[in-house]
Amino acid sequence: MTQKLHFYEFFAGGGMARQGLRNGWKCTFANDFDRKKCQTYRENWGDEDLFPGDVGAVSTADLPERCDLAWASSPCQDFSLAGNGAGLNGLKSNVFWSFWRLITELAEERRKPRAIVLENVRGLLTSRDGRDFETICRALAIENYHIGGFVIDASHFVPQSRPRVFLIGFLEGECRLPDGGTANDMWHPNVMQNAVASFPSFLNERWNWWDLPNPPKRNADLADILEGDVSWHSADKTQQLLELMNVTNRTKIEDRIGDNNCAIGAAFRRTRVENGRRRQRIEVRFDGMAGCLRTPGGGSSRQTIFSVGQGEVKSRLLTPRETARLMGLSDDYILPANPNDAFQLSGDGVAVPVVEFLSQHVLMPALKRDMDGAQAAWQKNQNLAKV
């Protein structure tokens, strides 16, 4: 039997990273503080490896043996455009340091993870003029990790615009590093290149522009993931939404009403400043994509679906199952019964196909090829430490 790689899943939510790491991996520890998300985790994965509660309450005694990978999708609100800009000092995002305390304590016990993945919003790259990103990279470098990263948009795999930063560290001498190269616009946009360019020299030397292959062609648009038997808004409700559109967005609707086929669009509520006044607006897109899913606490969390054509305009909200599909979750994934809890779960999650893509092309090649040698070296160090 092929030996599986072991991983810890911090800030696990409903276990979307676990879903993406299901082939060739074994989860040995998972943690989340949210009671409702933990219940969903149990319903899908069981609770054998789950530690419910604040990450600050986790000790290294709770972490079994040594893992090949520690995955952490820490709270993003303080880095996001919708947040307050507090960055690593923010009430939610500073829990990263509770996670990092465990990594440093594992280092003292000679069982640091061979690899670490930190997933967060693009705002991490510019938070506090790039200082937060540098601080996190510095922490990885001090613990002897080679570092690199990507900005990957889930739209390569699912019909949702969802760019996220994936910062990866591989422990010196215990992994076969991915092929290096130069920055490219697909995986390393200017905002990331500029952030790295501002690093001090010692940190820049630890950074790697690892590459990824072109993603497979996405085989589904927004219309393909919609449920069929769903109630639409009343005509009056749809008209109210249309009246919240500006001229540009109303024109997108009017241009399609007479089409023989119905076009499917996704719309968000936005607050815009017009003539010095703040106004609520509905903005719609017809490019086969949904906008980035958000949490109910993040404002316009539920997107509206518009069906336009054959002389008719219809509207309704996205369903919980549709948001799960936009995250790449299969239909047998058990969602919370409460719709708002399901929207929270999706809006806070990591897109499953992106995790699979990174596993296949970065993580497993780096860890599997050197797995036996790394395990032997670690065991030798453990034996020496006991002498």
> Is residue 285 within 8 Å of residue 267, measured between CB atoms?
yes
pLDDT in tens, 326-374: 999 999 999 999 999 999 999 999 999 999 999 999 999 999 855 554 4
Instruction: Say if residue 193 is in the same domain as residue 261.
Output: no
Instruction: Say if residue 12 is in the same domain as residue 36.
Output: yes
Query: What is residue 370's predicted lDDT score, i.e. its pLDDT?
Result: 54
Instruction: Say if residue 29 is in the same domain as residue 116.
Output: yes
> Number of folded domains in the chain?
2
332 in a domain, yes or no?
A: no
Could you identify the residue written with the tokens 């994934």? 333
314 in a domain, yes or no?
A: yes
Q: Positive or negative CA dihedral for 342, 344, 347, 348?
A: negative
- Helix, strand, coil % over all residues of the chain, rounded to 5: 35, 20, 40
Instruction: Say if residue 76 is in the same domain as residue 188.
Output: yes
225 in a domain, yes or no?
A: no
Q: How many C-beta atoms lie closer than 10 Å to residue 230's C-beta?
A: 13
270 or 296, higher pLDDT = 270
DSSP 363: I
Instruction: Say if residue 266 is in the same domain as residue 143.
Output: no
Instruction: Say if residue 205 is in the same domain as residue 278.
Output: no
pTM of the full structure: 0.90
Instruction: Say if residue 292 is in the same domain as residue 362.
Output: no
Share of the chain above pLDDT 70, in %: 88
Q: How many C-beta atoms lie closer than 10 Å to residue 340's C-beta?
A: 15
Residues 6+ apart with CB under 8 A from 365: 176, 178
Instruction: Say if residue 109 is in the same domain as residue 146.
Output: yes
Instruction: Say if residue 43 is in the same domain as residue 106.
Output: yes
- Report the phi/psi class of residue 100: left, alpha or beta, with left for phi > 0 and alpha for psi in -120 to 50: alpha
Pairwise CA distance, residues 45 & 6, whole Å:
15
pLDDT in tens, 192-227: 999 999 999 999 999 999 999 999 999 999 999 999
269 in a domain, yes or no?
A: yes
DSSP string across 133-192: HHHHHHHHHHTTEEEEEEEEEGGGTSSB--EEEEEEEEETTSS-PPP-----TTTS-HHH
Strand-pair category, 25-32 with 5-10: parallel
* Residue 230 pLDDT > 60: yes
* Boundary of a domain, candidates 278, 300, 318: 318
**Tokens at residue 121, please?**
């919003």
Confidence of residue 75 (pLDDT cuts 50, 70, 90): confident
* Residue 107 pLDDT > 80: yes
Query: What is residue 299's predicted lDDT score, i.e. its pLDDT?
Result: 45
Instruction: Say if residue 211 is in the same domain as residue 80.
Output: yes
Q: Tell me which residue range forms the domain holding 278.
A: 231-318
Instruction: Say if residue 163 is in the same domain as residue 304.
Output: no
Instruction: Say if residue 197 is in the same domain as residue 237.
Output: no
Distances (CA, A) of 286 to 20, 66, 181: 29, 48, 36
Q: What is the mean pLDDT of the chain?
A: 89
Pairwise CA distance, residues 156 & 196, whole Å:
24
